[in-house]
């Protein structure tokens, strides 16, 4: 038996450009298949708006598989929506009921200015990575995988932190708009591997300084970041970042 199609009422943030006033615009969308992803539902709405000669709603997406971190929607007040550990692109309409009203807004943070509608400028996160979120190695043949042994437990923890997709939901969820979970995940991932050791102290100082320069707030342990993170990155990354920063500032001067 075919799935019953739903009618969904939407209130979507519309904003003509950066610094312009915006507002929630109401739409009623019929013919929503419960198996559609949230982004496919927005695609359907855009098709209907375009057919009527109206401006489609701008929103970011790329992989639509929970990998790239592009989809940045606050759904009913929650970054990435109601399903824990799920990016907006992997949220499906079967989690909603016929006749539901859904409010869709962009990430809200001073460091993420709205470009248009639901699209924000998240290049501040790129600049934090540019400040130190890398390792420097001489080019040449790849080393044998076993030449630098790493304990399994340590490698697993590093991998958990490396799962961060850089979406910025942690910033959007935090009442201080802090980027501490994102930055902490990158710092912790690299600090746990021998390859990250040579630049370890310089990295944490530069990345934390850049985080402050970009206008992100400080962490005050609300834990909203961990709850909103589509990759369920542990808030322990922030504690590790703080330890790394303290050790680095006590031992070196830039």
Q: Which is nearer to ligand SF4, 133 or 196 (CB)?
A: 133
Binding-site partner at residue 229 among ligand FES, ligand SF4, none, CB < 5 to 8 Å by type: ligand SF4
Residue 75 binds what, of ligand FES, ligand SF4, none (CB under 5 to 8 Å, by partner type)?
A: none
- Distance (Å, rounded) from C-alpha 233 to C-alpha 171? 13
66-72: long-range contacts, CB 8 A cutoff, minimum separation 24 = 66/90, 66/165, 66/230, 67/165, 68/165, 69/165, 69/166, 69/167, 69/168, 70/167, 71/39, 71/167, 72/106, 72/107, 72/118, 72/119, 72/120, 72/122, 72/167, 72/168, 72/169, 72/172
Q: At its nearest, how many Å lie between ligand FES and the CB of residue 77?
A: 19
Q: Which of ligand SF4, ligand FES, none lies near 181, with the C-beta cut-off 5 to 8 A by kind?
A: ligand SF4
Nearest partner of 71 among 38, 111, 49, judged by Cα: 38
* C-alpha–C-alpha distance, residues 224 and 226, integer Å: 6
CB of 119 to ligand SF4, least distance (A): 17
Q: How far, in whole angstroms, is CA 186 from its chain's centroid?
A: 13
State the minimum distance, in angstroms, from the CB of residue 11 to ligand FES.
Answer: 21
Selection from ligand SF4, ligand FES, none that 231 binds (CB < 5 to 8 A by kind) is: ligand SF4
Q: Which is nearer to ligand FES, 63 or 246 (CB)?
A: 63
CB under 5 to 8 A by kind: which of ligand FES, ligand SF4, none does 170 bind?
ligand SF4
Residues that bind ligand FES (CB under 6 A): 61-64, 66-71, 87, 89, 165
Nearer to ligand SF4, 36 or 216 (CB): 216
Given the rule CB under 6 A, which residues bind ligand SF4? 69, 164-170, 181-182, 185, 229-231, 233
CB 177 within 8 A of CB 109: yes
Q: Given the complex with ligand SF4, which of 32 and 169 has the nearer CB atom? A: 169
Choose among ligand FES, ligand SF4, none what residue 48 binds, the Cβ cut-off being 5 to 8 Å by kind: none
| CA pair distance 206, 56, nearest whole angstrom | 40
Q: Measured from the CB atom, is 180 or 248 closer to ligand SF4?
A: 180
The residue (of 96 and 182) whose beta carbon lies closer to ligand SF4 is 182
- Nearest distance from C-beta of residue 66 to ligand FES, angstroms: 5
């Amino acid at each position: 038996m075919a799935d019953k199609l739903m009618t969904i009422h939407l209130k979507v943030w519309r904003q003509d450009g950066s610094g312009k006033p915006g507002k929630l615009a109401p739409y009623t969308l019929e013919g929503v298949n419960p198996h559609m992803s949230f982004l496919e539902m927005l695609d359907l709405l855009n098709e209907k708006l375009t057919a009527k000669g109206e401006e489609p709603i701008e929103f970011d997406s790329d992989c639509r598989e929970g990998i790239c971190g592009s989809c940045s929607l606050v759904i009913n007040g929650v970054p990435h929506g109601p399903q824990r550990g799920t990016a907006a692109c992997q949220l499906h309409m079967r989690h909603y009921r016929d006749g539901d009203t859904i409010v869709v807004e962009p990430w809200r943070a001073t460091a993420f200015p709205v470009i248009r509608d639901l699209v924000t400028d998240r290049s501040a996160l790129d600049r934090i990575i540019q400040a130190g979120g890398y390792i420097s190695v001489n080019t040449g043949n790849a080393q044998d995988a076993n030449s630098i042994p790493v304990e399994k437990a340590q490698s697993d923890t590093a991998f958990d932190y490396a799962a961060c997709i850089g979406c910025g939901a942690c910033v959007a969820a935090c009442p201080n708009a802090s980027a501490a979970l994102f930055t902490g995940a990158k710092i912790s991932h690299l600090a746990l591997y021998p390859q990250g050791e040579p630049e370890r102290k310089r990295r944490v100082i530069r990345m934390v300084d850049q985080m402050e320069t970009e206008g992100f707030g400080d962490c005050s342990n609300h834990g909203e970041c961990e709850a909103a993170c589509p990759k369920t990155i542990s808030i322990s990354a922030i504690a590790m970042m703080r330890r790394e920063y303290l050790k680095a500032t006590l031992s070196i001067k830039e």
